[in-house]
Amino acid sequence: MIMEIIEKIKKLGLGEVLEDVDIAKYTTYHVGGHALAMVFPSDVYCLIELLKLLKEENVKYKVLGRGSNLVFSNTFYNGILIKLDHFDDLRINGNEITVGAGFQLIKLAIRLSRIGFTGIEFATGIPGTVGGGIFMNAGAYKSDMGYIVKKVKVLTPDLKVKELTNSQLDFHYRSSFLQKHPGYICLEATIVLQRDDPDKIMQLVDDRKKRRLETQPLEYPSAGSVFRNPEGDYAGRLIEEAGFKGKKHGGAMVSTKHANFVINVGNATGEDIKELILEIQKTIKEKYDIELKIEQEFVE
């Protein structure tokens, strides 16, 4: 049945279709089994028609960005993965920048910083797409997407295109309306930045990059910070104090550089990573009575 649906997607010309996809190639942890297919919708119309078809046929699906906050199990994903890579338009109008949800966040932040836009420097080290960054309200250096996003164009669960303003997006620390309403799909965002000297901006970007290389395990596959920082404290400090730095589970390990990073040190499975993360969470709860919130999503 699903194979017939895949053939129908191809015949309808809804976008590029890859079959028997190795999910590990599409996640920053480099883990995951295989999926039936991955579809790259050509535009909003194709995305709507694709979702109509999948919903009518009751086919499981998931929209991916860069796979930077997803931990897929190594079992077979019996459904369709959707990638919005073609949603990558970029338009600059004064201090307002409108950008597609599939645009890479790091690429966007560096490009805008180089031409003298300030306010997005925090995102020059955040893996993922614009859509994923808004979904997570990704941030660093005491700033996040909520500070710069003016409005977002979304596809609602009933497949209508709608605009949501900053206040409607309900941004909070690593949280947003989209995260609490996963049936909504980010299509594009309008952000507002200020102008400043490009050399000064890029000096800040370069300084922060140097600091990240010194303090984060960027040489290994990971998904960035695993846990949100609890109020008034740091997840990394608690994890290190609990003795987890360097602890391994299969091919997954707590980084010796930064304890809030779990890294793939060699052929880790999604299960290895998940079990290590859950063990850390359980231990911190037992030891400090603090419930660390996991930033990453486990996908079966």
At 45 the pLDDT is 98
Same domain, 256 and 187: no
Based on the residue annotation, tell me whether 295 is a catalytic residue of this protein: yes
Q: 56-79, pLDDT tens digit by residue?
A: 999 999 999 999 999 999 999 999
Task: Please state the domain count of the chain.
Answer: 3
Residues 173, 266, single domain; the answer is no
Strands 149-155 and 185-192: antiparallel
From 174, 208, 212, 228, the catalytic residue:
174
Residues 77 and 99 in one domain: no
Residue at 263: amino acid letter:
I
Question: What's the pLDDT tens digit per position in 119-167?
Answer: 999 999 999 999 999 999 999 999 999 999 999 999 999 999 999 999 9
CATH number at residue 272: 3.90.78.10
Q: Which two tokens stand for residue 182?
A: 């996963």
Q: Is residue 190 located within the same domain as residue 228?
A: no
- Strand order through the sheet with 248-249: 248-249, 252-254, 262-264
Gap between the Cα atoms of 130 and 137, Å rounded: 10
79 and 98 assigned to the same domain = no
The pLDDT assigned to 1 comes to: 77
Q: Domain range holding 72?
A: 2-83
Q: Do 27 and 44 fall within a single domain?
A: yes
Catalytic residue among 68, 222, 225, 255: 225
Q: What is the pLDDT of residue 13?
A: 97
CATH number of the domain bearing residue 111: 3.30.465.10
How far apart (Å, rounded) are the C-alpha atoms in residues 63 and 290?
Answer: 32
- Asked whether 42 and 86 are in contact (CB, 8 A), the reply is yes
Do residues 62 and 300 lie in contact, with contact meaning Cβ atoms separated by under 8 Å? no
> Can you give the pTM of this predicted structure?
0.94
Q: Is 91 assigned a catalytic role?
A: no
d(CA 56, CA 2) in angstroms, rounded, equals 12
User: In terms of domains, do 63 and 104 share one?
Assistant: no
Instruction: Report, as ranges of residue numbers, the positions in the chain whose pLDDT lies below 50.
Output: none
Give the DSSP per-residue string, 75-141: S-EEEEEEE-TT---EEEETTEEEEETTSBHHHHHHHHHHTTEES-GGGGG--SBHHHHHHHT-EET
**Catalytic one among 121, 188, 271, 295?**
295
